[in-house]
Structure 1
């Protein structure tokens, strides 16, 4: 008799369910409750890290080198600012004007740049930004020299190259002195002068001293250039005078030689009084007669003023006489810019931004503390798994 077990029927589903093993998949999701609990347990790590970074940030902010900037805004000078220079130039203008030979004068533009407000202002900005001028000024500044000595002493103590340190120092300070246009899209925009220094008072005094330094140098350059161009013009006039006098002397000698030959011919021809000869191409004119020719020779030999032979000498001699009586005033006063905003002492420091440094240091410490706690939590969770 067959057993009851053999009569039992199995469905495919039941067979599959018995034959298939069951695997438990790991759960990678992070439980927020566990995470918050981990942060709570690691709160002292977060607090300690945040406090440490805050203390370091505050200490750095309090001990970092301070930098202050004094600024001023300037524009090109007005005509009244350069009136003294303009008067100096105008007295020399007739010497440079060109005589066209028909009674009219052509005005020369050689001196125009010296009394141009825009040219003077552009020259001032160029000199203000000149690296050579910055170096010369800094070398004469006590504030910079003290800072330089301190930095070189630190470099020597740290066994750094003193020459490289000095070059870096100059390059860094060159960036702290600048003259730049306020609005690059506006041609009439003012320029801003800026000088950054380690102290509020020194920043204010240094920018004023540097402005005076550049103004004096520009004054010196303008006067020297004006003197040089006048001296060059004087040499040019002397050369023209020498050339014209030489030409006049040669012409006078030729006229005397011709008259003497004409006298000999007139005497040989027994022509004592003027006669009419219908030949205008004679090399030696004897139509004046020997008596008149003798008088002509005497007159030619008595000529001392060569202006009679070369009329172009007259304006040149007049200009040279003017130059003898005119001098460039080295002390003439003029300014190559005008203030539209006076130099003021800085109200706030440029560097360091103490509050910002403290806040950023605190945030960085807090983020690092949270990261440490989070890393511990993840590692422990992996170990438990």
Structure 2
């Protein structure tokens, strides 16, 4: 009985060894196919990697600028008085930072940002950046830099992008906002074909979001002051007049401090600089992946061909 089991195991090992030999024999027979596939994909990978333009990334590190004891802290001190007057003074600085982060990535803010700084052409009508001349390389099939106008297609429709197209291109290809949960700091990164533009856009974003939030809060405080002054004229109760005077003083102080604070929501900790090294593309990685893909497809093709040949019925003599 033991001899029979040993014989079956030996036979199984022999079959496995034969299958392994056949596997290597099949690969060896098709080695030129594998080499051809690998070489073809390697050449294609190199060509693709060289065709991809350099992309540079500039980042600016910002921290919440609001101080709980400053402008927003006044709302906590006078919150009870404000509630008597029917006014909600809002939350503290942390809530303001969260709102500013969302506004920064909102469609309305980005549309205004792109239009204000005239970024439509760099976003949708350039193919590259001339490093020596420090100039954009335009796609002359859609835009004429001499006439400074968008061209039209065969149907007479302009290639000028819509606000939707501009915002989608900016968010997808250029903007990235990340937050450090431990410190609460934000990193605002801009990718661009031009290292100079990447630096400039990052700085402009921080300046614009600070100005936007400052303008919003000043407008809100001025509206509250006008409301409180109207209520003050309507009442003759000395106690309520005192409440209104304190609230008006608080809102006036808010306006004054906001106007005196350029970095209203985000304080720049590490400003953006023009990068000297590209961040993309990873050309070596592209070539390696192309070689691996070509090798795997070559091996797959060799085995499929061998399997098809083995399934064909032998011709009878």
Q: What is the TM-score normalised by the length of structure 2? A: 0.64
Deviation at 1:379, TM superposition (A): 3.5
Deviation at 1:66, TM superposition (A): 4.7
- Is the 8 Å Cα contact of residues 182 and 191 (structure 1) preserved in structure 2? yes
Instruction: Say if 1:313 and 1:113 are closer, same or farther in 2 by CA, change over 3 A.
Output: closer
3-state secondary structure, aligned to 1:343: coil
Q: Distance in 2 between matches of 1:144 and 1:163?
A: 9
Residues paired across the two proteins, number: 269
**Structure 2, gaps ≥5 residues long:** 1-14, 127-138, 144-150
Larger radius of gyration: 1
2:143 maps to 1:173: no
| RMSD, aligned CA | 4.7
- How do 1:169-318 residues align onto structure 2 when only pairs under 5 Å count? 170-175=167-172, 176-183=174-181, 186=182, 189-240=184-235, 244=236, 312=238, 315=241
Deviation at 1:198, TM superposition (A): 3.3
Q: Distance in 2 between matches of 1:165 and 1:44?
A: 52
Q: Distance in 2 between matches of 1:62 and 1:198?
A: 15
Deviations 1:91-121 (A, max 9, x none): xx99x996xxxxxxx998958659x433443
Question: Which structure shows the bigger proportion of residues in strand conformation?
Answer: 2
2:130 aligns to what? none
Q: Distance in 2 between matches of 1:59 and 1:143?
A: 30
**Structure 1, gaps ≥5 residues long:** 1-26, 99-105, 245-310
Q: Distance in 2 between matches of 1:367 and 1:382?
A: 23
- Is the 8 Å Cα contact of residues 206 and 266 (structure 2) preserved in structure 1? no
- How do 1:1-385 residues align onto structure 2 when only pairs under 5 Å count? 33=21, 35-64=23-52, 66-77=54-65, 79=67, 113=90, 116-150=92-126, 153=142, 167-168=164-165, 170-175=167-172, 176-183=174-181, 186=182, 189-240=184-235, 244=236, 312=238, 315=241, 319=245, 329=256, 331-334=259-262, 335-345=264-274, 349-383=278-312, 385=314
Deviation at 1:135, TM superposition (A): 1.5
Instruction: Say if 1:383 and 1:125 are closer, same or farther in 2 by CA, change over 3 A.
Output: closer
Deviation at 1:65, TM superposition (A): 5.1
Q: Which moved more, 1:211-220 or 1:123-132?
A: 123-132
- Is the 8 Å Cα contact of residues 177 and 194 (structure 1) preserved in structure 2? yes
